[in-house]
Amino acid sequence: MTEVKGKGGLGFRDLHCFNFALLAGQIWRIITKPNLLMSKILKGKYFPNISFWSAKCSSSASCIWKSLLCAKDLLEGGTMKRIGDGKTVRIWEDKWVLGWKDGRIWSTKLVDCELIYVSQLFTQGKWNEDLLNKLFCSDEVNSILQIPLSHLGSLDKLMWADSQSGVSNRAIVLQKMLRKSKSLGEFIMLVLV
């Protein structure tokens, strides 16, 4: 399988990386298509009351679930929230500021600040610039103001930050894995255990 195609192989350079790319593709499907039977079964069994990102691995978990969780960090590192109505994106915890370092807000949350969701940062379809200037540094404010707001009330979406279309694909995940190939041994050991 690892032989080049010209010599009768399938041309996979690294089967372990390819496996993680496939696992990441399944995770993406579970998260972005919650109405699939597979998504409903896994959610019902392993993370019924929490998000996929908060799910843990129990000792009685299936091999499939353990494998998916091993690839979770890889996928989580490349995802961001695309702002729709802003009602599910948490200001201080989620990655949502495109083009800003790791996508998260770096400014320290003020002690008396009770804001939780991004939807609380805009009114009447526009960013509340006065509020933004009180809460965040000027660079963050400039990055936030570049984010277009939905005038149709569309929902927030998960997007793949390394893709121009925002959609995950195995090639992008595989490239990311190859860049991290030094730490790949750790991932492999987790899957095999």
Distance CA 152, CA 125 (A): 9
> In which band, very low, low, confident or very high, does the pLDDT at 164 lie, cut at 50, 70 and 90?
low
* pTM reported for the whole predicted model: 0.67
169, pLDDT greater than 90: no
Of 2-11, 95-104, 112-121, where does the model show the most confidence?
112-121
> In which band, very low, low, confident or very high, does the pLDDT at 190 lie, cut at 50, 70 and 90?
very low
Listed by start position, the domains of the chain span 5-78+164-192, 81-145
For 76-107, write each residue's pLDDT tens digit: 777 888 899 999 899 998 889 987 778 889 88
CB contact set of 106 (below 8 Å; sequence gap of 6+): 100, 137, 140
Residue 126's pLDDT is: 92
Given CA atoms 136, 142, 147, 153 in this order, what sign does their dihedral have? Answer: positive
For 42-74, write each residue's pLDDT tens digit: 999 999 998 888 888 888 889 999 989 888 877
Residue 6's pLDDT is: 72
Task: For helices 170-179 and 63-76, give the axis angle rounded to 10 degrees.
Answer: 80
